[in-house]
Amino acid sequence: MTLKISVIGTGYLGVTHAACMSSMGFQVVGIDIDASKISALSAGELPFYEPGLQELLVAELASGRLTFSDSITSAASADVHFVCVGTPQRAGSLAADLSYVDSAIENLAPVIKSGSLVVGKSTVPVGTAERLLARLQHVNPLLDLAWNPEFLREGFAVEDTLHPNRLVVGVTNDDAEAILKEVYAQNLAEDVPWIRADLPTAELVKGAANSFLATKISFINAMAEVCEAAGGDVTVLAKAIGYDPRIGSRFLQAGIGFGGGCLPKDIRSFMARAQELGADQSLEFLREIDAINLRARTRVIDLVRAELEENLIGYKIAILGAAFKPDSDDVRDSPALDIASQLQAAGAAVTVHDPKALKSAQLRFPVLNYAESIEECIAEADLILHLTEWKIYRELDPVKLIGLVKRPIIIDGRNALDRDLWISAGWKFRALGRKAIN
């Protein structure tokens, strides 16, 4: 008989996982305490933007395999329960807030049937899984728990879930692994690498992977700083080192650095946990990674001042991009919005455009000015900042835009625009880690 699945938490991760599991043929219920989110999802409305997910959601609802509920008791008949709730940074601390994970387990334990498997997907500090397993078995000794970290990227969430580059399962026994092999049978048939680990290793894999990615980005941003000091070009440097397969060219895009709901808080929570474990020295370097990352935001503001003047009061600055990365409407710890609000606080008149994230940006930073169109955003601007590399910005025609602004100055905070094109159209083009060319 086909396994029945419940997914607890319907954020980016949970909705994607639920819809993808349904598309693999399982009966799935997605559960969340937020009743308004559940009624939207049940009506086929995705509360956030993620390419391809809206269509998949509608199709899976229509198939009858996917349902949503705001009651945890809807998980009662499922065999496997994926915990996909958020673990944001705890207020006033570097550590992760585990309250959503803890309450998911507390609520699940008394209602699910004996023999069922709870599978954690949320990013948690090492040691959490063992603690949760003990808690589950205290309520019902016939429950089991596995940890199955998630590596999906926003913007590619459906693709990454249906075709992951590896599956990591932390288990304490063969039965749990067998159940997970049944869940992921389609992936296994496609030869997706399968890594069985113990619980702590599975938890650590996630922290290690995100720390490595953050390190790669901060490494190239540190190189950008050195290029600036020495008169080099970080985009050429990145290309040159990227050809070495041991280094690789991905995640070497210098610019205003990483943000989002994962990388920043994950490296901090990893450091905080290492400290608790007495291994603080081992992850001390992540403090520097974090500092380099935040410095990139300041450096771009320094560039703005260098182009305008130290005192920004009254200057009109247009910002292209609000999301923390393209193809997402997620503005959690968005470098673009952080820079926008710092410029606004410095007295500049800031107008922000984004093709998908205006609504989420407005909710988080209501004091900024937002424009629905690029033309409206840049009208009479003293300077344009390109901060999220959406395709529509790369396709802009600088010849057409030059008549709209007060001064033709653009700073490419993502090193993603075609510099020659903008310069030949008459713009002054500045970018992090590259020399100024007029």
Options 258-266, 302-310, 341-349, 354-362: segment touching ligand UGA (CB under 6 A): 258-266
Among 125, 259, 355, 433, binds ligand UGA (CB under 6 A): 259
Nearer of residues 255 and 355 to ligand UGA, judged by Cβ: 255
| Region 110-129 residues binding ligand UGA, contact defined as CB under 6 A | 123
Nearer of residues 32 and 79 to ligand UGA, judged by Cβ: 32
Q: Map residue 220 onto helix, strand or coil.
A: helix
Among 7, 19, 85, 263, binds ligand UGA (CB under 6 A): 263
Percentage helix, strand, coil for the chain under 3-state DSSP, each rounded to 5 = 45, 15, 40
- Min dist CB 334 to ligand UGA, Å, is 7
Q: Does 30 interact with ligand UGA (rule: CB under 6 A)?
A: no
Residue 67, H or E segment: strand 66-69
Q: Does 9 interact with ligand UGA (rule: CB under 6 A)?
A: no
Residue with tokens 């020659």: 420
Q: Does 144 interact with ligand UGA (rule: CB under 6 A)?
A: no
Given the residues 20, 84, 227, 262, select the one marked as catalytic. 262
Three-state SS letters, 232-283 = CCHHHHHHHHHCCCCCCCCCCCCCCCCCCCCHHHHHHHHHHHHHHCCCHHHH
Cα–Cα–Cα angle for 359, 365, 367, rounded to 5 degrees = 110
Q: Which residues contact 15 (CB under 8 A, 6 or more apart)?
A: 30, 41, 46, 53, 57
How many residues bind ligand UGA (CB under 6 A)? The answer is: 22
| Region 410-429 residues binding ligand UGA, contact defined as CB under 6 A | none
Nearer of residues 79 and 233 to ligand UGA, judged by Cβ: 233
Residue with tokens 């409206």: 376
The pattern of x and - marking residues 59 through 98 that bind ligand UGA according to CB under 6 A reads: ----------------------------------------
Nearer of residues 41 and 213 to ligand UGA, judged by Cβ: 213
138 alpha-carbon distance from chain centroid: 34
Report phi then psi at 209, rounded to 5: -65, -50
- Min dist CB 261 to ligand UGA, Å, is 7
Q: Check if 20 is active-site.
A: no
The pattern of x and - marking residues 234 through 253 that bind ligand UGA according to CB under 6 A reads: -----------------xxx
Interatomic CA distance for residues 391 and 370, integer angstroms: 19
Options 47-55, 146-154, 170-178, 350-358: segment touching ligand UGA (CB under 6 A): 146-154
Edge-first strand listing for the sheet containing 144-147: 66-69, 27-31, 4-8, 80-83, 117-120, 144-147, 167-170, 194-197
Nearer of residues 116 and 235 to ligand UGA, judged by Cβ: 235
Nearer of residues 184 and 427 to ligand UGA, judged by Cβ: 184
Among 273, 299, 325, 430, binds ligand UGA (CB under 6 A): 325
Nearer of residues 143 and 169 to ligand UGA, judged by Cβ: 169
The CA-based diameter of the chain, rounded to the nearest angstrom, is: 72
Options 38-46, 107-115, 145-153, 161-169: segment touching ligand UGA (CB under 6 A): 145-153
Burial class (CB in 10 A: 0-12, 13-18, 19+), 228: buried
Options 21-29, 150-158, 271-279, 282-290: segment touching ligand UGA (CB under 6 A): 150-158
Q: Are 12 and 32 in contact, with CB atoms under 8 Å apart?
A: no
Options 108-116, 125-133, 149-157, 370-378: segment touching ligand UGA (CB under 6 A): 149-157
Interatomic CA distance for residues 61 and 54, integer angstroms: 11
Q: Does 262 interact with ligand UGA (rule: CB under 6 A)?
A: yes
Q: Does 203 interact with ligand UGA (rule: CB under 6 A)?
A: no
Q: Are 125 and 95 in contact, with CB atoms under 8 Å apart?
A: yes
Among 32, 144, 154, 228, binds ligand UGA (CB under 6 A): 154
Q: Does 257 interact with ligand UGA (rule: CB under 6 A)?
A: yes
- Min dist CB 250 to ligand UGA, Å, is 7
Nearer of residues 116 and 269 to ligand UGA, judged by Cβ: 269
Nearer of residues 180 and 224 to ligand UGA, judged by Cβ: 224
| Closest residue by Cα to residue 421 from 410, 435, 432 | 410
Report phi then psi at 30, rounded to 5: -100, 130
CA atoms within 13 A on the CB side of 382: 15
Interatomic CA distance for residues 431 and 372, integer angstroms: 25
Q: Which residues contact 138 (CB under 8 A, 6 or more apart)?
A: none
Q: Does 207 interact with ligand UGA (rule: CB under 6 A)?
A: no
Applying CB under 6 A, the residues found at the interface with ligand UGA are 123, 150-154, 210, 213, 217, 251-253, 255, 257-260, 262-263, 266, 324-325
Active site residues: 262
